[in-house]
Amino acid sequence: MRHGKYPFIIGFLVVPLALYLVFVVGAYLQMFQLSLTDWSGYGGFTYIGVENFQKLWDDSVFWIALRHNLYLLIVMPIVTIALALFFAFLLNSGGKKAGGVWGSKVYRVIFFFPQLLALAIVAVIFGRVFGSDKSGMINGLLPQSWTPWLFLADERWALTCILVVLVWQAVGFYVVLFSAGMGSIAEEIYEAAALDGATKVTLFFKITLPLLWDTLQVAWVYLGIAAFDAFALVNIMSVNHGGPNNSTQVLSMQIYLNAFQNSQAGYASALGVVLFFLTLTFAALTLRVTRRDAVAA
């Protein structure tokens, strides 16, 4: 019965494991090694100790990028989840028997579509939507007499424009996700509460929200990952790769620029190492919070 078990296991694991070890695990391990070198990206390198990390500490652009990442990491999930919850509730508030609001299926299909477009394509589209003359969609819609808004060329608004695009793309996915979650909540609970005279708003905060908590946590993690990256948007939409004047600079852009534009791949690796530990801390914190919730519930 056990005949040929190990050859089979090894045969099935060797190729996927090898690919994963070389390209993923290998890359992360080498990141630690290269962070201690002056590697330019091509050819050899020498070890320079913790010099890269000292430089990182004094690098004001790194701190700006980190601050922007934290801002996106907090604001983008909050806005997206709030909007998605709002729309999902509106779509489902008619109840399962009533089949939701009129046209809810059509809305769900339209909302979800941006999720299928590559973020890079979305970035190109919105680069034009936010165009700073009449050729841009928004400025074209504004009255002729107004001075066109600068959007991405304006330091104060550039990062907000990027935030808007992230939210625009994500909301539909979470509307569908939360709708599925709301659909699995038993109709009887709502009916019982409605008989007791609960309003729609009370129903939402006292029943829907608590019963949806697990899905919300998953959504938070997914959105965090999406907001943390944002490379395609910054690289394509922003003025001058993270500009104007670093007002849209993020960590993924910093790693890319240092590795491939400034020929400082060692320094880019040091950035990666710092991020590695930040991510670990974030993951540990999330697990902690989640566990406490599980105990409380």
Partner 1 sequence: MMNLAVEETAAVTEPKPAERSRKVNPLNGVAHVALFLWALATAGPLLWVVLASFKNNTEIFLGKPFALPESFSFTTYADAWSEAHIGQYFLNSVFVVAISTAGTMLLGAMAAYVLARYKFPGNRAIYYLFVSGLAFPTFMALAPLFGIVQSLGLLNSFTGLILVYIAYSLSFTVFFLVAFFKTLPHEIDEAALVDGAGHLRRFFQIMMPMAKSGLISITIFNIVGQWNQYLLPVVIMQGAGADSKWVLTQGIANISTQAGYHAEWSTLFAALTLSILPMIAVYAVFQRQIQAGLTAGAVK
Please tell me whether residue 186 binds partner 1 under the rule CB under 8 A: no
Considering only the stretches 46-54, 74-82, 155-163, 169-177, report the one whose residues sit in contact with partner 1 under the rule CB under 8 A.
169-177
Smallest gap, in angstroms, from Cβ of residue 1 to partner 1? 7
Of 200, 227, 198, the C-alpha closest to 101 is 200
Q: How far apart (Å, rounded) are the C-alpha atoms in residues 244 and 150?
A: 11
- State which of positions 32-91 bind partner 1 (CB under 8 A): 34, 39, 41-42, 83, 86-87, 90-91
Q: Residue from 150, 153, 159, 171 that binds partner 1 (CB under 8 A)? A: 171
Q: Residue from 129, 158, 159, 163 that binds partner 1 (CB under 8 A)? A: 129
Q: How many CB atoms lie within 10 A of CB 67?
A: 12
68 near 166, Cβ under 8 Å?
no
The 215-254 site mask, x for binding partner 1 (CB under 8 A), equals x--xx--x--x--xx-xx--xx--------------xx--
Q: Residue from 262, 279, 281, 290 that binds partner 1 (CB under 8 A)? A: 279
The 3-state DSSP class for residue 37 equals strand
Please tell me whether residue 151 binds partner 1 under the rule CB under 8 A: no
CB neighbour list of residue 254: distance below 8 Å, 6 or more residues apart: 61, 62, 65, 242, 268, 271
- What crossing angle do the helices spanning 213-229 and 265-296 adopt, rounded to 10°? 170
Q: Residue from 94, 187, 245, 262 that binds partner 1 (CB under 8 A)? A: 94
The 3-state DSSP class for residue 39 equals coil
Please tell me whether residue 112 binds partner 1 under the rule CB under 8 A: yes
Alpha carbon 223 to chain centroid, angstroms: 4
- What crossing angle do the helices spanning 26-34 and 265-296 adopt, rounded to 10°? 120
Q: Residue from 115, 132, 154, 155 that binds partner 1 (CB under 8 A)? A: 115
Please tell me whether residue 256 binds partner 1 under the rule CB under 8 A: yes
Query: Whats the size of the chain, residue-wise?
Result: 297
Please tell me whether residue 135 binds partner 1 under the rule CB under 8 A: yes
